[in-house]
Structure 1
Amino acid sequence: MHPLSPALHGAKSLVVVIAGLSWSTLSRVGFGWFAAMVVVLALGATVLSVISWYNTGYHVVGRELRVYEGLLWRRTRAIPLERLQAVEVVRPLLAQLTGLAELRLEVVGGGKTEAPLAYLSVADAAALRARLLALAGRAGQPGGAVAPAGAAGGPEAVPTGQEAARTAMPAGRPLHAVRNEDLLVSQLLTPQAFLLPFGVAFVVVQFLSEDSWSFIAVASTLTAMAGVVLQPVRRVLDDWNFRLARDESTLRVRNGLLETRAQTVPLHRVQTVRATWPLLWRMKGWLRLRLEVAGYSVGESDERNRPDRLLPVGDLPTAEMIVGEVLPGVALAALPLTPPPPRARWLHPLGRGALGAGLHERVVAVRSGLLTRQLTVVPYARIQSVRVVQGPVQRRLGLATVHVDTAGGAGAAAEDRDLAEAWALAAELTARTHTARRTA
C-alpha cells in the first residue's frame, strides 16, 4: 500500500474516537483531559495503522488475487479472478486531498465488498484495476462478458501512468447528468427537512428559557437533529455531480462530492428496475430509479457500496429514456397495469387504487405504495422462481399474492390478486420465463 495509508487510516480513527466520546464525558472530565484522551487514543490508532500497513500487501498469482494482512494472526485471502464482477475506484475526501484512491472488488456470490485495497496512488489503482479485469478476461468490458484472447484491451493493453489515471473515470456515451440544484431541492422535499425547523425552534426555546437551559440538553438535541438530517445530507453528498454513461455492455456511473466513486454496472446482470415517486416529489413530477444487480453484495450493510443508482432525481421523460437504455422497448407510462379485485379493499381500504400488476411483452410490472408510489419492473429472463402465497385473511377473501424472485434480492410481489388470476399469472410467468431464457 501507499506510504501515506497509515496517516489516512489514523485520521479516520481520530474521527471515530471523537464521535465515540460523548458530550457527557466532556462535561465530566473537562476540556483539558478530554483533549488528552483524544490525543492518546489517536496516537494509539495511528501506531496500529502503521503496523497494519507494514504487514498488509497483495500479490497477483496467475488468475488469483491474494491479500495478506495481520501481525499476530496472519491471514491470506485468495480471490479467484474468474469470479470478479467489477473493480470500483473510490476516492474519499482525504484520499482526494492526498492524490490516493482505494479499490473495492465485487465478486459473484460475495456477502460484502471484497478486499478493499486502501490506499494506492490514482495511477496505480487504475493500472491495477485494468490488470485485474484483463486477467479476469473482461478487459475492455469491465464487469461484462469475457473478452476473446488477443482482443483489444486484453492483457497486453493494460494502461499505465496518466493514461491509467484517466481510465479510473467512466467513459462511454453520455446518457444523463443530474443537476445539482434539483438534487438539493429533492432532499429539501423530504420529511427530515420538514422536521428540521421544529428541532431548531426547540433548541431556541431551550436557550431562551433560563430555568431549563443547559449545555448538555442543547448538545443532545443538536445531536438528535444531526441524526435526523443525516440521510438527506448523505444522499446529496453521495449523488453530487451524478453522471450516467453507457458503452456496449455496461452502464458507467460517476458520483460523489466528498467521496467520488466510479462504478460499472453490467447490463446483462440487471435483475430489476424500480421507479419511486415520493409524496412530496409528485408536485414537481419527479421520481428516482434504482437497480438490482446480480453478483453484487446484496448483504452489504453500507448501501453506498451497492451499484444501484440509476437516476437520483429526474422527470418522467428522462426516466423513460434511461429505462429504454437498460430495458429496450419498455416504457414506464405504457405498462399494462390492472388493480386487484374490489374485495381487496378489506386489506387496503385506502390504497387499493395504488396497487397494480401486469404483463408486458418483455417484463412483468408491479405497482404498490400509497404515500410513496413504487413501480417494479422485472425482465422475464431474470426471474428465478415464482411463488403464490396466501395468508389467513386472504384465504377468507379468495385472494393471493404472486411473488417474483430474482437473483438480485427483493424481486417483486403482485399483492392480493383474485385466487384464480394469481394461479393463472404464476403459470404465465413461468412459461414466459422459460421462453425468454431459451431465446436469450
Structure 2
Amino acid sequence: MIVAALSWQALRELGPTHFAMVVLAVAVGAVIFSAVGWWTTGYQVVARELRITEGLIWRRNRAIPLDRLQSVEVRRPLLAQFSGLAELRLEVVGGGKAEAPLAYLTVREAAALRERLLALSGRTPEVSVAEADPAAGPRTASPGEQSLHAVGNRELLISQLLTPQAFFLPIGVAWVVTQFVMEGSWTFIGIASTVTAMAGVLLQPIRRVLRDWDFRLARDPGGRLLLHYGLTETRSQVVPLHRVQAVRITWPFLWRLTSWLYLQLDVAGYGAPERGNDTGSDRLLPVGDQHAARLVVGAVLPGVDLAALATSPPPARVRWLHPVGLRFMGVGLHPDVLVTREGRLSREMTLVPYARLQSVRVVQGPLQRMLRLATVYADAAGGRSGAARDRDLAEAWALADELARRARLARHPIPPPAPAAPSDLGQPADETFWQRPAQA
C-alpha cells in the first residue's frame, strides 16, 4: 500500500506518459541486471568441493566443502514454474541462511546436481535423476519415494483461521468501521495506512497457507527425508536423517480445540529461525493430530514413540517462579532422546537425540540461587537447546552428568561384552541411571 501511495503521487506529478516511461525503464533495468547476474554466475564440482563464481565488475569465488553439506533444496517460484526453471539452495554447517543459491537451472539439471552433491557429501547413496526429478510435479510421488504423510489443504486453511491474527481481525474491522462512521470522512493517507495495517495482520496466515500448500512428507530409497510443499513457490527439500539435530512439537492455544499440533525440524546449518520469520526451512508437519505426529516422529527419530515420552515435573517450590505453567514443565530421559516440555498458552516439547548433543550447561539465575534451583541446557548444532528448567540443584548436576555420559555412549557405543560364564548368568547388570533425588 505504501508503494501504491507513492506511485499515485508520482503519477499525479509526472503524468501518465512520463510515469509509464519511468516504470518501463525500471522494468528493463531489472531484467538486464538479472540477466547479467545469471550470465556471470557459474559452478564447478571439483573433488569434494562445489566452486561458485559470480560477479561482473567484482568477481567472487567461493569453495564450499561438501562434507559440511546438511541439506539441499530445490525451489521453483511462480515464474520459474512457467519457464521450467528451478533454484538450488544449499544449507551448510554454521550458516544462518542458504550458502550457495544457484538461480536458475533447468529442473532436470537442478535435480541431477542435487543428487550428485548429496552423494559426494557422504553417507547418502546416489539416486537416479528420474526418481529425483521434480518436473513430474509436486502433487505426485516419484517412483522411488515411500510416502509417509500428506497434510490436507482443508486442515491447513482451518488451522490458520485458528490463529490470533484471524481471530481478532473482526474486532479490528469493527473498530475501523466505527472510526470511519464517527469521523465522517478520511484522507487517502488514513485509508492507505489502515488498509496496510490490516493487510499486515492477514499477511502471516496467508503466507503460511501459500507456503505449506499440498505438504507431503516421504522417504527415498536411501532413507533420506523428502519434503514437498508450496503453491506460488514449490519446494522440494532433501534432509538426511543423520543431520537431524532436534524435533520440536508445539500445541498452540487455539489449536487445542481441535487437538492439533505442528512439528519443526532442527538441521545443523539452518540456525534458529527468528520469531515471526516464516521463510526458514525448518517445517516438518505444518498441522496434524497426535496420530500423524507419532508417525512423523517415528520416521525422523526411529525407535521414538511420541505417546510413550513421559516427563517428571520440577520441585514444588518452583511454583513461586511459575505459578501458572508449573504443571506443563518437565524433563525425561529416554533410551534415545532427551525430552523437555514447557509453555503456558502454547505448549512445547523438544526432543534432542543424545548423539547430537554438543554441550551441556548448568545455569543459575539470582532467584534460582535463592531457591537452590538450576536450569540444564542440552545444546545441539541446530541452534536450539533442550532446556530442563528450574530443577533442584543436586538433580540438575546429576542430570548434566548423565546427559554427558549418554552423549559419549551414543557417539562411541561400547561393544557388547563377551558371553558370561555359566556361574555369572542371572546376575543384575551394574548400570547407573539418572534419578530424581528424594525431596526433603
Using the size of structure 1 for normalisation, the TM-score is 0.84
CA gap of 1:167–1:34, structure 2 versus 1, over 3 A, is closer
Q: Does 1:44 align with 2:18?
A: no
CA gap of 1:130–1:322, structure 2 versus 1, over 3 A, is closer
Q: Match of 2:250, as an amino acid?
A: T
Q: Does 1:387 align with 2:353?
A: no
Q: Which runs of 5+ in 1 are unaligned?
A: 1-18, 139-144
Q: Give the drift of 1:55.
A: 2.2
* Preserved CA contact (<8 Å) 1:64 1:80: yes
Q: Give the drift of 1:35.
A: 4.9
Q: Give the drift of 1:231.
A: 1.3
- Equivalent in the alignment of 2:63: 78
Tell me which moved more, 256-265 or 158-167: 158-167
Q: Deviations over 1:156-206 (max 9, x none)?
A: xx6479968459976521111001000000010000001221232244345
- Equivalent in the alignment of 2:193: 220
Q: Match of 1:234, as an amino acid?
A: R
Distance across 2 between alignment mates of 1:35 and 1:226: 27
Q: Does 1:96 align with 2:69?
A: no
CA gap of 1:353–1:70, structure 2 versus 1, over 3 A, is same
Q: Give the drift of 1:313.
A: 0.7
Q: Does 1:109 align with 2:78?
A: no
Among residues 239, 247, 257, which one is paired with 2:212 in the alignment?
A: 239
Tell me which moved more, 23-32 or 321-330: 23-32
* Preserved CA contact (<8 Å) 2:270 2:282: no
* Preserved CA contact (<8 Å) 2:108 2:129: no
Give 3-state SS (helix, strand or coil) of 2:101's partner. Answer: strand
Distance across 1 between alignment mates of 2:49 and 2:58: 22
In the TM superposition, what are the counterparts of 1:238-317 in structure 2 within 5 Å?
238-247=211-220, 248-294=222-268, 296-298=269-271, 306-317=280-291
CA gap of 1:410–1:132, structure 2 versus 1, over 3 A, is closer
Q: Give the drift of 1:66.
A: 2.4
Distance across 2 between alignment mates of 1:277 and 1:162: 34
Higher Cα Rg, which structure? 2
Give 3-state SS (helix, strand or coil) of 1:338's partner. Answer: coil
Q: Give the drift of 1:429.
A: 1.4
Give 3-state SS (helix, strand or coil) of 2:265's partner. Answer: strand
* Preserved CA contact (<8 Å) 2:2 2:192: no
Distance across 1 between alignment mates of 2:62 and 2:169: 46
Identical-pair percentage: 58
- Equivalent in the alignment of 1:141: none
Tell me which moved more, 270-279 or 81-90: 81-90
Distance across 1 between alignment mates of 2:23 and 2:60: 31
Q: Give the drift of 1:71.
A: 1.8
In the TM superposition, what are the counterparts of 1:3-152 in structure 2 within 5 Å?
21=3, 23-24=5-6, 26-27=8-9, 30=12, 32=16, 35-134=20-119, 136=120, 138=122, 145-147=123-125
Q: Deviations over 1:6-45 (max 9, x none)?
A: xxxxxxxxxxxxx773625634652736555433322322
- Equivalent in the alignment of 1:435: 409
Distance across 2 between alignment mates of 1:410 and 1:399: 22
CA gap of 1:125–1:24, structure 2 versus 1, over 3 A, is closer
